[in-house]
Amino acid sequence: MNRTILITGGAGFIGSHVVRLFVNKYSNYNIINLDKLTYAGNLANLKDVEDKPNYKFIKEDICDFDAILKIFRQHAIDGVIHLAAESHVDRSIKDPFTFAKTNVIGTLSLLQASKQCWEDNFDEKLFYHISTDEVYGALKFDNTLFTEQTKYDPHSPYSASKASSDHFVRAFHDTYGLPVIITNCSNNYGPYQFPEKLIPLFINNIRRKKPLPVYGKGENVRDWLFVEDHARAIDIIFHRGKTGDTYNIGGFNEWSNIDLIKVIIKTVDRLLCNKEGESDDLITYVTDRAGHDLRYAIDSTKLKEELGWEPSLQFEEGIEKTVRWYLDNQKWMDDVTSGEYEKYYTTMYRDR
Ligand code: NAD
Ligand code: TYD
C-alpha cells in the first residue's frame, strides 16, 4: 500500500533513525520529515537518505497550526509518527515554558490537524505518539517495573509536558475517535545523540580530557535501549499495534549511572589506546539535579507477547558500537558542540 507518513522531529536523535529505517525499508511510502531544526535538530544526521526519491524534508514548527494544516492537506498525510519535542530534563528545569509550548501545544496542533483532515474517514489512518517512561515518575531500588497500567506521576517539567501531551492524545481518541497509539520508551543510546545527554557527553569529555559531571552520588538507575532497537519497535507497532493502545518499550537493561560511567571510561580509554584507568580521575561529583528521579525500569512484556519485539543487541555490543561511532565521527561532534552549545554548556556546568 502507498502511504504518506509525516515523521516529526526526524532531524533529531531517535527521529533520524526512524526516518532512515522507513525510507530504506518502504520505497512505496512517501516519508516527510518535518522539523524546526532547533539546537537538537541536524540534517547531517540524514545525509545518507537525503537524495532518496521517497524522502522529503520540511522545515516547520509543529506549534504553527495553520502551517501544519496546510502541509496535511497539500501532501494528503495518512500517518503521523510524532517525535518532535524538547527532550532534555536539565533544560526543562531552566526553561519550562518552551517545553510546555513545544511538547503540549505542538502535539495539540498536530492532533487537531489530523482530526480535521481525517474525520470523514479514519480508516487506514494513524497518529502514533512517541512518549517516555519518565511520565511514570520514579521507582524505588526494588524489583518493580513500569507497566502500561502504572499511574502517571511526572516530576520534572519535561516529564510533566510529555505526560500532558499523552493525555491530549488519549483525549482525541476518546472524544473524537482519532486512531492513536502511544509508546513509552526507556533511555535510548547510540549514534547521533546530542551531546548534552549522558553517554555522548561523557564520551566527548573523556576524549577532550574534560571533567565528567556525575550528579549526586551517581546511584540513579536508568534502563538503556539501543536506538536502532527502538526504531525497529516503532516500525512494528506502527504497522501491527492495536489502535487506542499503549505499549512500553525498554531494554531490560538497568544500570546505575556510576557503573555505566565506568564502562564508558573503560571503553573509550581502550579504543583510544590510553593507559587503563587513565580517565578515572575525570569523574567529578557535582550538585544533584533538582527532583532527580531515582530509578526508571520498563516492563515491555506486552510488546514481546503481542507483537514479538525484543531488544536485539547486548549492552556490551551496543556501547562498543556507540563509543566507536562517536570517536570515528569527531567532525559531527565538533560541529554540534561549537558555538551556542559550547556557551550554554559552560554556563550549565558553572551553575552546578
Ligand atoms: P532530540 O532532542 O534529539 O530531537 C528532537 C527533534 O525535535 C529535533 O530535531 C528538534 O529540532 C525537533 N523539534 C523540537 N521542537 C520542535 C518544534 N517546535 N517543531 C518541529 N520540530 C521540533 O530528541 P530525541 O531524544 O530524539 O527524542 C525524540 C522523542 O522521543 C521525544 O518525543 C522524546 O520525548 C522521546 N523519547 C526520547 C528518549 C531518549 O532517551 N532520547 C526516550 C524515550 C522517549
Ligand atoms: P540524561 O541523559 O540527561 O537522561 P534522563 O535525565 O532523561 O534520564 O541523564 C541520564 C542520567 O545521567 C540521569 O540520571 C542524570 C545523569 N547525568 C549525570 O549524572 N551527569 C550529566 O552530566 C548528565 C547529562 C546526566
**pLDDT category, 92, cuts 50, 70, 90?**
very high
Does the residue 345 lie in any domain? Answer: no
Q: How many CB atoms lie within 10 A of CB 307?
A: 15
* Tens-place pLDDT, residues 220-252: 999 999 999 999 999 999 999 999 999 999 999
User: How many CA atoms within 13 Å lie on the side-chain side of 302?
Assistant: 18
Distance (Å) from CA 198 to ligand 2 centroid: 5
**pLDDT category, 136, cuts 50, 70, 90?**
very high
- CA 50 to CA 45: how far, in whole Å? 10
DSSP for residue 19 = H
The ligand minimizing its distance to the Cα of 162 is 1
Does the residue 64 lie in any domain? Answer: yes
To the nearest whole percent, how much of the chain has pLDDT over 70?
97
Q: Is 213 near ligand 2, meaning CB less than 6 Å away?
A: yes
Does the residue 231 lie in any domain? Answer: yes
**At a CB cut-off of 8 Å and minimum separation 6, what does 334 contact?**
none
Query: For position 351, what pLDDT does the model report?
Result: 65
To the nearest whole percent, how much of the chain has pLDDT over 90?
95
Q: How far apart are the first and last CA of the chain?
A: 53
Does the residue 181 lie in any domain? Answer: yes
Tell me the C-alpha to C-alpha distance, in Å, between residue 69 and each of 4, 112, 171, 307.
15, 8, 20, 33
Query: For position 193, what pLDDT does the model report?
Result: 98
* Tens-place pLDDT, residues 258-305: 999 999 999 999 999 999 999 999 999 999 999 999 999 999 999 999
CATH number at residue 15: 3.40.50.720
Locate 142 and state its grid cell: 526494588
Distance (Å) from CA 97 to ligand 1 centroid: 16
- CA 81 to CA 79: how far, in whole Å? 7
Return the H-helix or E-strand segment holding 30: strand 29-35
Active-site hit among 86, 133, 254, 293: 133
Does the residue 14 lie in any domain? Answer: yes
Does the residue 243 lie in any domain? Answer: yes
For cell 472524544, name the residue.
175
The mean pLDDT value of the chain amounts to 96
Query: For position 1, what pLDDT does the model report?
Result: 77
**pLDDT category, 338, cuts 50, 70, 90?**
confident
Return left, alpha or beta for 244; rule: phi > 0 is left, psi -120 to 50 is alpha, else beta: left
Does the residue 321 lie in any domain? Answer: no
86 is an active site residue: no
Please state the atom number of ligand 2 nearest to the C-alpha of residue 89.
6
Residues with CB under 6 A from ligand 1: 8-9, 11-15, 35-38, 40-41, 61-63, 83-87, 102, 106, 130, 132, 162, 185, 187-188, 194
133 is an active site residue: yes
Residue 10 in this model has a pLDDT that exceeds 90: yes
Does the residue 259 lie in any domain? Answer: no
60 is an active site residue: no
Q: Which domain holds residue 76?
A: 3-190+226-253+291-313
Active-site hit among 55, 128, 136, 158: 158
The number of folded domains in the chain is 1
Buried b or exposed e, range 170-197, using 16+ CB within 10 angstroms: bebbeeeebbbbbbbbbbbbbbbbbbbb
What is the pairing mode between strands 29-35 and 3-8? parallel
Q: Helix, strand, or coil here: 318?
A: helix
